[in-house]
Amino acid sequence: MANSWWKESVVYQIYPKSFQDSNNDGIGDIKGIISRLDYIKKLGTDVIWICPVYKSPMDDGGYDISDYFQIDEMFGTNEDLDELLEKAKQLDIKVLMDLVVNHTSDEHVWFQEALHNPASKYRDYYIFKEGIDGNPPNNWRSYFGGSAWEPVPNEENMFYLHAFTKKQPDLNWENEEVREEIYAMINYWLDKGLGGFRIDAILNIKKRLEYGIFESDGEDGLAFIGHWILNQPGIEVWLKEMRERTFKPHNSMTVAEADVPNERLDEYIGEDGYYSMVFDFSYTDIDVPETGEWFKDSQWTWTDMRTNIFTNQLVTQDKGWGALYLENHDQPRSINKYIPEEWINDYSKKMLATLFMLLRGTPFIYQGQELGMTNIEMASLEDFDDVATHSQYKRALEYGLAPEQALKAVNKRSRDNSRTPMQWNTQKNAGFSTSDNVWLKVNPNYPELNAEAQLTNQQSVFNYYRQLIELRKNSVYNDVLIYGQFLPVKDKNEHILLYERQLEDKIVLVILNVTATEQEYYVDEQYQQVLINNYEDILLDQSRKLRLRPFESIVLANYGGQL
Ligand code: NOJ
Instruction: Please give the full DSSP string across 517-536, using - where no structure is assigned.
Output: S-EEEEPPTT--EEEEESSS
Question: How many angstroms separate the CA atoms of 263 and 518, rounded?
Answer: 39
How far away, in angstroms, is 222 Cα from ligand 1 center? 21
Q: Are 369 and 331 in contact (CB under 8 A)?
A: no
Contact 257 CB / ligand 1 (< 6 Å): yes
How far away, in angstroms, is 329 Cα from ligand 1 center? 9
| Low-confidence stretches of the chain (pLDDT beneath 50) | none
Q: Which of 2, 4, 15 is nearest to 365 (CA)?
A: 15
User: Pocket of ligand 1, candidates 58, 60, 167: which has the most ligand atoms within 8 Å of its Cβ, to mutate?
Assistant: 60
In the chain, domain spans: 5-100+176-206+233-461, 109-161, 484-557
Atom of ligand 1 nearest to the CA of 387: 7
Counting Cβ atoms within 10 Å, is residue 554 exposed (0-12), middle (13-18) or buried (19+)? buried
Closest protein CA for atom 10 of ligand 1? 63
Tell me, what DSSP letter sits at residue 371?
Answer: G
Contact 63 CB / ligand 1 (< 6 Å): yes
Question: How many angstroms separate the CA atoms of 164 and 64, rounded?
Answer: 10
Contact 164 CB / ligand 1 (< 6 Å): yes
Helix (H) / strand (E) element for 151: namely strand 149-151
Describe the chain by its helix, strand, coil percentages, rounded to 5: 35, 20, 50
Contact 416 CB / ligand 1 (< 6 Å): no
Counting Cβ atoms within 10 Å, is residue 524 exposed (0-12), middle (13-18) or buried (19+)? exposed
How far away, in angstroms, is 201 Cα from ligand 1 center? 7
Contact 170 CB / ligand 1 (< 6 Å): no
Question: How many angstroms separate the CA atoms of 371 and 549, rounded?
Answer: 22
Closest protein CA for atom 5 of ligand 1? 330
Atom of ligand 1 nearest to the CA of 102: 11
Contact 150 CB / ligand 1 (< 6 Å): no
- Mind spelling out the 3-state secondary structure of 200-238? CCHHHCCCCCCCECCCCCCCCCCEECHHHHCCCCCHHHH
Which neighbouring-strand residues pair with 546? 521, 540
How far away, in angstroms, is 415 Cα from ligand 1 center? 10
Span 405-437, pLDDT tens digits: 999 999 999 999 999 999 999 999 999 999 999
Closest protein CA for atom 2 of ligand 1? 200
Atom of ligand 1 nearest to the CA of 100: 11
Q: Are 18 and 421 in contact (CB under 8 A)?
A: yes
Contact 173 CB / ligand 1 (< 6 Å): no
How far away, in angstroms, is 162 Cα from ligand 1 center? 13
Atom of ligand 1 nearest to the CA of 164: 10
Atom of ligand 1 nearest to the CA of 328: 3
Atom of ligand 1 nearest to the CA of 61: 5
pLDDT at 214: 98
The CATH code belonging to domain 5-100+176-206+233-461 is 3.20.20.80
The CATH code belonging to domain 109-161 is 3.90.400.10
Contact 280 CB / ligand 1 (< 6 Å): no
Three-state DSSP at 345 gives coil
pLDDT at 280: 94
Contact 366 CB / ligand 1 (< 6 Å): no
How far away, in angstroms, is 187 Cα from ligand 1 center? 22
Question: How many angstroms separate the CA atoms of 559 and 523, rounded?
Answer: 14
Question: How many angstroms separate the CA atoms of 361 and 484, rounded?
Answer: 10
Atom of ligand 1 nearest to the CA of 388: 7
Closest protein CA for atom 3 of ligand 1? 330
User: Pocket of ligand 1, candidates 255, 330, 416: which has the most ligand atoms within 8 Å of its Cβ, to mutate?
Assistant: 330
What type of residue sits at position 18? S
Handedness of CA 51, 57, 63, 69 (dihedral sign): negative
Closest protein CA for atom 6 of ligand 1? 63
Active-site amino acid positions = 200, 257
Question: How many angstroms separate the CA atoms of 340 and 450, rounded?
Answer: 22
**Angle ∠(474,272,96) on CA atoms, nearest 5:** 50
Question: How many angstroms separate the CA atoms of 95 and 37, rounded?
Answer: 11
Q: Which of 145, 124, 279, 128 is nearest to 201 (CA)?
A: 279
How far away, in angstroms, is 200 Cα from ligand 1 center? 6
What type of residue sits at position 209? L
Q: Are 528 and 563 in contact (CB under 8 A)?
A: yes
Contact 21 CB / ligand 1 (< 6 Å): no
Identical fold at 109-161 and 484-557? no
Contact 200 CB / ligand 1 (< 6 Å): yes
How far away, in angstroms, is 164 Cα from ligand 1 center? 8
Q: How many CA atoms lie within 13 A of 384 on its CB side?
A: 28
The CATH code belonging to domain 484-557 is 2.60.40.1180
How far away, in angstroms, is 208 Cα from ligand 1 center? 21
